[in-house]
Structure 1
Amino acid sequence: MLDIAKTAQLTPDLLRSFLVAADTGSFTRTASLVHKTQAAVSMQMKKLEEDLQCLLFKRDGRGVSLTAEGEILYRYSAKILELHDEALTAVSGPKLHGKVRLGAPDDYAMKHLPGILREFSVNHPQVQVDVFCDDTPNLSKMLDNGQLDLVIATDNVKTKFSAPLELTWILPERMDPSGLKELPLALFHPVCCYRENGLKALEKASRKYRIAYGSPSLAGLLAAVQGGLAIAVVTKDTTAKGCRHALPSDGLPPIKSVYIDLRFKPRNRSEVVSVLGGFIAKGLGIVI
Structure 2
Amino acid sequence: MLDTLHSAQLTPDLLRSFIIAADTKSFTRTANLVHRTQAAVSMQMKKLEDELKCVLFQREGRGVSLTAEGEILYRYSSKILELHDEALSAVSGPKLNGIVRLGAPDDYAMKHLPGILKEFAVNHPQVQIDVFCDDTRTLAAMLDKGQLDLVIATDNAKTEFSAPLELSWILPERMEPAELDVLPLALFHPFCCYRENALKALDKAGRKYRIAYGSPSLAGLLAAVQGGLAIAVVTKETTAKGCRHARPSDNLPAIEHVYIDLRFQPGLRSEVVSVFGGFIARGLGIVI
The one-letter code sitting in structure 2 at the alignment partner of 1:96 is: L
Normalising by structure 1, report the TM-score. 0.89
Looking at structure 2, the residues matched to 241 and 63 of structure 1 have their Cα atoms a distance apart, in angstroms, of: 14
Looking at structure 2, the residues matched to 200 and 228 of structure 1 have their Cα atoms a distance apart, in angstroms, of: 24
Of 241-250 and 210-219, deviating more is 241-250
Query: 2:244 is paired with a residue of what secondary structure?
Result: strand
Specify the alignment match of 2:158 in structure 1. 158
Give % identity: 83
Specify the alignment match of 1:100 in structure 2. 100
CA distances 1:206-254 after superposition (whole Å, capped 9, x unpaired): 1122222221111222222233332211112222233222222222111
Specify the alignment match of 1:117 in structure 2. 117
Specify the alignment match of 2:168 in structure 1. 168
Specify the alignment match of 1:178 in structure 2. 178
Specify the alignment match of 1:249 in structure 2. 249
CA distances 1:106-148 after superposition (whole Å, capped 9, x unpaired): 1111111112222222222111111101111111111111111
* Runs of 4+, deviation exceeding 6 Å: none
**Distance change >3 Å, CA 64–CA 261, structure 1 → 2:** closer
CA offset at residue 29 of structure 1? 4.7
Query: 1:100 is paired with a residue of what secondary structure?
Result: strand
Report if the CA contact (8 A) 2:201-2:255 is conserved: yes
Aligned length: 288
The one-letter code sitting in structure 1 at the alignment partner of 2:148 is: L
Specify the alignment match of 2:137 in structure 1. 137
Specify the alignment match of 1:90 in structure 2. 90
Structure 1 residue runs of 5 or longer lacking an equivalent are: none
CA offset at residue 200 of structure 1? 0.9
**Distance change >3 Å, CA 3–CA 59, structure 1 → 2:** same
CA distances 1:242-281 after superposition (whole Å, capped 9, x unpaired): 3222222222111111111111233241122111112212
Query: 2:213 is paired with a residue of what secondary structure?
Result: strand
CA offset at residue 36 of structure 1? 4.7
The one-letter code sitting in structure 2 at the alignment partner of 1:105 is: P
Looking at structure 2, the residues matched to 39 and 224 of structure 1 have their Cα atoms a distance apart, in angstroms, of: 37
RMSD between aligned residues:
2.4
The one-letter code sitting in structure 1 at the alignment partner of 2:218 is: L
Specify the alignment match of 1:240 in structure 2. 240
Superposition pairs of residues 1-288 of structure 1, within 5 angstroms: 3-60=3-60, 63-288=63-288
CA offset at residue 191 of structure 1? 2.0
Looking at structure 2, the residues matched to 80 and 27 of structure 1 have their Cα atoms a distance apart, in angstroms, of: 22
Report if the CA contact (8 A) 1:184-1:212 is conserved: yes
Query: 2:206 is paired with a residue of what secondary structure?
Result: coil
**Distance change >3 Å, CA 184–CA 168, structure 1 → 2:** same
Looking at structure 1, the residues matched to 31 and 45 of structure 2 have their Cα atoms a distance apart, in angstroms, of: 12
Query: 1:266 is paired with a residue of what secondary structure?
Result: coil
Looking at structure 2, the residues matched to 51 and 109 of structure 1 have their Cα atoms a distance apart, in angstroms, of: 34
Report if the CA contact (8 A) 1:185-1:230 is conserved: yes
The one-letter code sitting in structure 2 at the alignment partner of 1:278 is: G
Report if the CA contact (8 A) 2:170-2:233 is conserved: yes
Report if the CA contact (8 A) 1:165-1:235 is conserved: yes
Looking at structure 2, the residues matched to 126 and 132 of structure 1 have their Cα atoms a distance apart, in angstroms, of: 20
Report if the CA contact (8 A) 2:23-2:115 is conserved: no
Query: 2:77 is paired with a residue of what secondary structure?
Result: helix
Looking at structure 1, the residues matched to 231 and 16 of structure 2 have their Cα atoms a distance apart, in angstroms, of: 34
The one-letter code sitting in structure 2 at the alignment partner of 1:145 is: K
Looking at structure 2, the residues matched to 40 and 170 of structure 1 have their Cα atoms a distance apart, in angstroms, of: 32
Structure 2 residue runs of 5 or longer lacking an equivalent are: none
The one-letter code sitting in structure 2 at the alignment partner of 1:275 is: V
Report if the CA contact (8 A) 1:33-1:112 is conserved: no
